[in-house]
Structure 1
């Protein structure tokens, strides 16, 4: 792949479109950053910044919660219901509270993936209300 194609693709991804397909891509990338950045070799389980930031007491949990709240903010812009928003904020808040437990807070964070749950809720909403932005094998399908 020529280098110019790579930079063009990165420039396209940097555009903050407000259409549902662009929002979906941003949320999926944020969820990957928070929950699936690297694989733990022996356990063969993916972790992301949500677990890694637990190394920094309180501040790391606050940053992870803020990044999780960004996903909820994007969902709000999609017009999700107040009930769905409350559930999503509850997931982020519960994850934040678990992370505050000294030294052992990373263990529940390793298993409770609030951002993945929130992403699933958003995808269900998008598939129901914006079927024209459906994703098939990583490509946006226009109908």
Structure 2
């Protein structure tokens, strides 16, 4: 293979990896923020809200998954400013979740993981990696 062909092959392989990571992270974000719908309403909730019904453990587990999404975004080359915005989204979500009862309701409406995935999608699209 010539140098140019090898470079194109490497870019294609990297784009395929990014597409796979993107799809996996999208599934995780939807599972944690909007997987289920309350019957008779348009209100959706995910594992994040459900886990927060378990005092202490639920908050740590849900925010651990959010931290994983940010770590993957960093691995995919998201700039520091965007990573800080993502961390801020998770911080606001953690503050909301820390309030008993009211925090559980707030968790249904403040979807930090979906917000962070929107930031990641925006970054990847700017880099020329739209979804396939």
Question: How would you bin the TM-score normalised by the shorter chain?
Answer: 0.7 to 0.9
Q: What is the CA deviation profile of residues 78-115 of structure 1, one whole-angstrom value per residue up to 9, with x for unaligned ones?
A: 11111111110111111011111112211111111111
Q: Which has the higher helix share?
A: 2
Higher RCO (CA-CA < 8 Å; seq separation 6+): 2
Tell me if structure 2 keeps the 8 A contact 1:37–1:48.
yes
Question: For residue 18 of structure 2, what is the aligned residue in structure 1?
Answer: 20
Give a deviation string over 1:106-139, Cα, whole Å, max 9, x none.
Answer: 11111111111100000000111133xx22xxxx
Q: Residue 62 of structure 1 contacts residue 96 of structure 1 at CA under 8 Å; is this kept in 2?
A: no
Partner of 2:70 in structure 1?
Answer: 72
Q: How many residues align?
A: 118
Corresponding position of 1:46: 44
State the Cα distance separating 1:18 from its structure 2 match.
7.5
Aligned partner of 1:60 among 43, 58, 61: 58
- Secondary structure (helix, strand or coil) at the match of 1:25 reads helix
Q: How does 1:1-143 map to 2 (within 5 A)?
A: 19-131=17-129, 134-135=130-131, 140=132
CA RMSD of aligned residues (A): 1.5
Q: Which runs of 5+ in 2 are unaligned?
A: 1-14
Which 5+ residue runs of structure 1 have no aligned equivalent?
A: 1-16
Q: Which residue of 2 aligns with 1:4?
A: none
Q: Give the distance between the partners of 1:130 and 1:68, measured in 2 at CA.
A: 25
Detail structure 1 runs of 4+ shifted over 2 Å in the superposition.
Answer: none
